[in-house]
Structure 1
Amino acid sequence: MSKKLVEFRNVSFKYGEKEPWVLRNCSFEIYENEWVAIIGHNGSGKSTIAKLLNGLLFPQEGEIIIDGQQVNEDSIWNIRKEVGMVFQNPDNQFVGATVQDDVAFGMENRGFPREEMQQRISETLSAVRMQDYRLTEPHRLSGGQKQRVAIASVLAISPKVLILDEATAMLDPSGRKEIMDTVGRIQESNGLSLITITHDLQEVVQAERVIVMNNGEKWKEASPREIFSEKDALRKIGLDVPFVAILAEELKQAGVSLTAAPLNQEELLEDLWTLHSRT
């Protein structure tokens, strides 16, 4: 069994004494090399979870454990070596005059030797296919290119956990696909634990496991297929389901006997082709 890397133990959080709880008694675990998507309506606590994981916030109740260390003010710098985070707007993360300066920044702060920094800059920019833009000023890049550089900057410090907090929300569909293809490839090759916090259903179906948040509490935790099989329950808490799942449901109601619960176009086409071959 894979090693337990992240633990939320009965975590509760609110932004002020008189404010309502944003998270209430939230518990879950994430393992090495696992891809987990966290979804929920606006205000459900998703982004607060991301900030708690990275030590930008601390819980009022409960514990957060990252790779065996409790997240607190004493451990925060060790935790941030283990947890990298990419936000919705990459412009907020750029600090360097050029792409390579930006990728180098986190390593400089951690005292990496210069030769190792040069090697990691080349490796991470190659991993996100931005090696030809080393000397480019970040503001001259497209939205998708900026996100790839932001991901390279995080990967350069070799985190064990990579968090994408709505990191593709500002991109068009082709840009989102490009980033998620890049991230999926890197996650597989680097053995990262990947946590995606997103509204994009196509990102969710790529994950191994989904945690659904509702009003600050964990509503359900299961595989994407299991989660999206509960269409009516998801709609009741303000969430949508993939179009392919809706289409498959309508086909079943029309008498088409699909053998599975497809999550994407490829699975639906394969199911329909199998059904056609039998008739």
Structure 2
Amino acid sequence: MHEVDFSVYSDEIVALIGGNGAGKSTLLEHLNATLIPDDGELVVDGTSITEDNKPHARKEVGFVFQDADTQLVAPTVLDDVMFGLQNYGVPGDEARERAREALATVDASHLEDRIPHYLSGGEKRLAGLAGVLVLEPSVVVLDEPLAGLDPDRSQLVAERIEQIHEDGISVVLSTHDLEFAAEVADRVCVMAEGNIIGGGTPREVFYDDALLADANLHPPSAVRVARDAELGATAQPVTESDLVSLLTEAGNSSTTPTPSADGHRHD
């Protein structure tokens, strides 16, 4: 990575997109001081992060890894969610109560007595997310949160991501799924060769052919369909629901009776 200038603001979901090796995971691992930059500065909530104060970054910025098994270490899900709190010296009863609240936040209370490594991929992601939320971070970082999940589990995880955002927590995620990025992101940053080469709203990014070409990316299917059908030159749909609305509107317009010159309708 080199010359990366990246900020996360309150109350937003940021999606990092780019090809394999673009630097997405490496950038994410800097955000909570899993990695410390050799040259440059990481500032979290106004505090410059060094080797000496990494815990500040890790409390404010929660990280959910792509491989959930690297994050789940305790004999039960409840114990695992409590683990971070206990590291910070929170007493057992309080840690247990807060862990149960965090599991309830992601609708995973039914998992508390389960053995983490016997969970499905989606359930592991929810357990990892609860383990991060229990520390009450201001930002949650997720590396490829939908990787390896079937459609139902992907939808479940996506809903929980939007839910925690609605609760006032900023979210940064990396993804190869541009349909997902278009659905959830307020801002999209495009990475290539270890740097951020562009960004903006999903509409700004996914209709910028030159930017996507530089990152070897193709726009979401809604963008491609709208262009192929010569629809929405100004509306510019980026999600499936955008496209459906546009097609519905176009269909209604094409069937609306038009008045004749004498003021009578001709159907």
TM-score (norm 1): 0.87
Classify the secondary structure of the residue corresponding to 1:37: strand
Which secondary structure does the structure 1 equivalent of 2:22 belong to?
Answer: coil
Q: 1:194 to 1:92 in 2, by over 3 A?
A: same
**Residue 174 of structure 2 is aligned with which of 193, 197, 215?**
197
Question: Root-mean-square deviation (CA), in Å?
Answer: 1.4
2:115 counterpart of 1:140: no
Q: Which amino acid aligns with 1:271?
A: L
Query: What is the CA–CA distance in structure 2 between the aligned matches of 1:234 and 1:132, rounded to whole Å?
Result: 42
**3-state DSSP class of the match of 1:27?**
coil
Query: Match for residue 268 of structure 1?
Result: 243
Q: Which runs of 5+ in 2 are unaligned?
A: 255-267
Contact 2:81–2:130 (Cα < 8 Å) also in 1 = yes
Residues 142-157 of structure 1 aligned to structure 2 (within 5 Å)? 142-157=120-135
**Counterparts of residues 1-279 of structure 1 (less than 5 Å):** 23-189=1-167, 191-205=168-182, 206-252=184-230, 256=231, 259-279=234-254
Shift of residue 110, structure 1, vs aligned partner? 0.6
Task: Name the CA distance, whole Å, in 2 between partners of 1:107 and 1:248.
Answer: 49
Q: What is the distance in 1 between the residues matched to 2:79 and 2:196?
A: 40
- Residue 260 (structure 2) aligns with: none
Which protein is bigger by CA-based radius of gyration? 2
Specify the code of the residue in structure 2 equivalent to 1:110: Y
The alpha carbon displacement at 1:259 in A equals 4.7
Kindly state the Cα deviation for residue 202 of structure 1 after the two structures are TM-superposed: 2.5
Paired residue for 1:19? none
One-letter code aligned to 1:53? L
The secondary structure found in structure 1 opposite 2:66 is coil
Q: Distance in 2 between matches of 1:258 and 1:42?
A: 31
Amino acid of the structure 2 residue aligned with 1:185: Q
Partner SS, residue 189 of structure 2: strand
Shift of 1:233: 3.8
Once residues 92 and 203 of structure 1 are traced to their aligned partners in structure 2, the CA distance between those partners, rounded to angstroms, is 24
The 8 Å contact of residues 208 and 224 in structure 1, kept in 2 or not, is answered as yes
**Distance of 1:257 and 1:224 partners within structure 2:** 15
TM-score (norm 2): 0.90
- Inter-partner Cα distance in structure 2 for 1:127 and 1:134: 13
SS in 1 for 2:8: strand
Distance 1:81 1:188 in 2: 20
Deviations 1:163-212 (A, max 9, x none): 001122121222112101111111212x1110011111122111000111
Moved over 6 A (4+): none
Q: Distance in 2 between matches of 1:93 and 1:100?
A: 13
Q: Identical aligned pairs, as a percentage?
A: 38
Q: Give the conservation status (yes or no) of the 8 Å contact 1:89–1:170.
A: no
The answer to whether the 8 A contact 1:103-1:149 is kept is yes
SS at structure 2 position matched to 1:194: strand
Residue-pair matches, total: 253
Once the two structures are superposed, what CA deviation does each residue of 1:28-50 show, in whole Å capped at 9, x if it has no partner?
22111211111111111111111
Instruction: Identify the range of structure 1 (228-237 vs 143-152) with the bigger mean alpha-carbon deviation.
Output: 228-237
The 1:257/1:82 distance shift into structure 2, 3 A limit, reads closer
